[in-house]
Structure 1
Amino acid sequence: MKTLEELNLVDDFLVNSLTSHKIYGEQSARYILECILHRQIGKLTVVPQRFFCGENIETHGIRLDVYLDEENGEIFDIEPDQNDGKEEIVSLPRRVRFYHAKIDASNLNAGDTYGSLRNVIVIFITTYDPFGLNRMVYTIKNCCVEVPELKYEDGAQTIFLYTRGREGNPPEELKQLLHYMEHSSIENASTENLKKLHRMVTAVKRDGEVGFAYMKSFEREERIRRQGEEEGRKAGLEEGKKEGLEEGIIKLSRKLGKEDTEILSLLQEELQIDEEQAKLILEKYQQ
Structure 2
Amino acid sequence: MYCIKPWEDLTIQDDYMFKLIMNIKPICLKLLQGILRMEIKDIHYLETEKSMDARYQGKGIRMDVYVRDDAATVYNIEMQVRMLEGTSLFKRTRYYQSMIDADLLAAGADYDDLNKTIIIFICPFDPFGEGRHIYTFENICLENTKCKLQDGTTKIFLNTKGTMADVDESVKAFLDYVNGIVGEDPLVREMDEMIRRIKRENEERVSYMTFAMKMMEERKEGFREGERQGFTNGLAEGKAEGKAEGKAEGVAFSISNMMKNLGVSVEKAMDILQIPADERTKYATLVRQ
TM-score normalised by the chain length of structure 2: 0.82
Cα displacement (A) at 1:109: 6.2
Q: How many residue pairs are counted as aligned between the two chains?
A: 268
Whole-Å separation in 2 of the counterparts to 1:166 and 1:241: 49
Partner of 2:214 in structure 1?
220
Matched, 1:17 2:20: yes
Partner of 2:7 in structure 1?
4
Cα displacement (A) at 1:178: 0.9
Could you tell me which amino acid in structure 2 is paired with residue 5 of structure 1?
E
Partner of 1:150 in structure 2?
147
Whole-Å separation in 2 of the counterparts to 1:117 and 1:142: 16
Partner of 1:61 in structure 2?
60
Whole-Å separation in 1 of the counterparts to 2:228 and 2:76: 40
Matched, 1:73 2:72: yes
State how 1:11-50 maps to structure 2 within 5 Å: 11-20=14-23, 25-46=24-45, 47-50=47-50
Equivalent residues of 1:8, 1:182 under 8 A apart = no
Q: Could you give the per-residue CA deviations for residues 135-183 of structure 1, whole angstroms, max 9, x where no partner exists?
A: 2110001111112112432211111011112245222221111111232
Equivalent residues of 1:10, 1:125 under 8 A apart = no
Equivalent residues of 1:83, 1:261 under 8 A apart = no
Whole-Å separation in 2 of the counterparts to 1:41 and 1:247: 48
State how 1:62-211 maps to structure 2 within 5 Å: 62-87=61-86, 90-108=87-105, 113-167=110-164, 169-183=166-180, 188-211=182-205
Gaps of 5+ in 2: 235-239
Could you tell me which amino acid in structure 1 is paired with residue 199 of structure 2?
K
Alignment equivalent of 1:286, drawn from 263, 281, 284: 284
Whole-Å separation in 2 of the counterparts to 1:126 and 1:42: 27
Gaps of 5+ in 1: 269-277
Displacement over 6 Å in runs of 4+:
none
**CA root-mean-square deviation:** 2.6
Partner of 2:273 in structure 1?
266
Partner of 1:236 in structure 2?
230
Cα displacement (A) at 1:40: 2.1
Q: In structure 2, do the counterparts of structure 1 residues 110 and 265 end up closer, same or farther at CA, with 3 Å as the change threshold? A: closer
Specify the SS of the correspondent of 1:102. helix
Equivalent residues of 1:224, 1:249 under 8 A apart = no
Equivalent residues of 1:232, 1:244 under 8 A apart = yes
Could you tell me which amino acid in structure 2 is paired with residue 68 of structure 1?
V
Whole-Å separation in 2 of the counterparts to 1:286 and 1:110: 30
Amino-acid identity (%): 28
Q: Could you give the per-residue CA deviations for residues 71-91 of structure 1, whole angstroms, max 9, x where no partner exists?
A: 34311000110232323xx12
TM-score normalised by the chain length of structure 1: 0.82
Q: Could you give the per-residue CA deviations for residues 213-252 of structure 1, whole angstroms, max 9, x where no partner exists?
A: 2111121122123212320221223756677456534431
